[in-house]
Amino acid sequence: METLITAFEWITRILNAASLLPNFDSPLGIFCAIAWIGTLISAIMFVVAFIADLGGGDFDAGSVDGDVGAFSVQAVMGFILGFGWGGYLAVAGGAGVGLGIFVGILVGVVMFFLIAGIMKGIYSLKSDGSLKYESLVGMTGTVYVTIPPHGEPGGQVQVSHPSQLITMAAIQEGDTPLPAQTRIEVVAATTYQLTVRPVGTVPSTQK
């Protein structure tokens, strides 16, 4: 225990000497606090995603239909990181608070779109790979986001393909919405969308 306390004290001294100790007593300290919050949350997300990947799971912090990563949590955290560290470096270099905020926003926007593009590319590789979407027809899964009736867009489902857990946009031709956790069967598939029906229902052509 004493070793941990000593290590913490040394880390605190180093951060304080380098003006990297977050506080809310000055603009520099506030930027530093924002930067460290973004860094800590991003690190936790990375560890959770890594563990989920090792366990064969699917840690999904954003949507994974056609616009993967556009407004994902990863991209938002990228903005916070860019804003915090960008503003911190600007103010530490002698810039005023206003200029620091401007630089922080500029760096944050760049980080946002950079990470959004990276995440979209990663999910695109995961989705495209060797997966043939026709192979999903006949498979079962669950509704992830409520599917509106009459072919209206907006719903999502999760289907356990042998190679991965797939989350995709979905529609259905029924007259009532399919709420989350409803068991479904895939009846048609394209690259970007699945057509599903509740498990146990009879296809319209057989009625």
| pLDDT per residue as tens, the chain (207 positions) | 566 566 656 656 665 655 566 666 778 888 888 888 888 888 887 777 666 554 444 444 444 443 444 456 778 888 888 898 898 888 888 888 899 899 999 999 998 888 877 777 666 555 545 567 777 888 888 998 899 998 888 888 988 877 677 888 898 888 889 998 888 888 888 877 888 988 876 555 444
Give me the pLDDT at residue 173, please.
86
Count of CB atoms situated within 10 Å of the CB of 193: 18
Q: Which domains can be identified in the chain, with CATH numbers?
A: 20-128 (no CATH), 133-199 (2.40.50.140)
Angle CA(62)–CA(77)–CA(155) in degrees, nearest 5? 15
Q: Per this entry, what is the length of the chain?
A: 207
- 3 state DSSP class of 103: helix
CB 189 within 8 A of CB 133: yes
User: Where do the DSSP E strands lie in 131-192?
Assistant: 140-145, 155-161, 164-171, 183-189
Give me the pLDDT at residue 151, please.
85
Exposure on the CB side of residue 1, measured as CA atoms within 13 A: 0
Give me the pLDDT at residue 105, please.
94
Give me the pLDDT at residue 102, please.
94
